[in-house]
Amino acid sequence: MDSGKLVLGVLIGVTVGATLGILFAPDKGSTTRQKIVDRGEGYADDVKEKLDDFISSITSRFEKAKEEATEFASKAQKNYNESKKETDHVTA
């Protein structure tokens, strides 16, 4: 999750820097506002893409862990049943 925070921090920093650069540029106000909107949309798309990738990665890891836990539980149940049969056989 630290890499996700790092990426988000970098994107926010780039966005703020670009916005400040545009605001101090010697363009007409309407042109500056349009540039901010255009870049903002581009950055928003980038952030959304990174967030989707991050969520996909987390979901994939969760599913893998879930499968491993299910497999572990199944093996544990099998071992328990086998041990119980052996114990019942010995005590009978």
Domain regions of the chain by residue span: 2-91
Q: What is the pTM of this model?
A: 0.48
Q: Give the model's pLDDT for residue 65.
A: 94
Q: Give the model's pLDDT for residue 92.
A: 63
Whole-angstrom distance, CA of residue 10 vs CA of residue 74: 44
Tell me the average confidence (pLDDT) per consecutive run of 10 residues in the chain, 92 residues long.
77 82 75 79 83 89 94 93 83 68
Nearest to 7 by CA among 38, 36, 49: 49
Dihedral angle sign, alpha carbons of residues 28, 32, 35, 41: negative
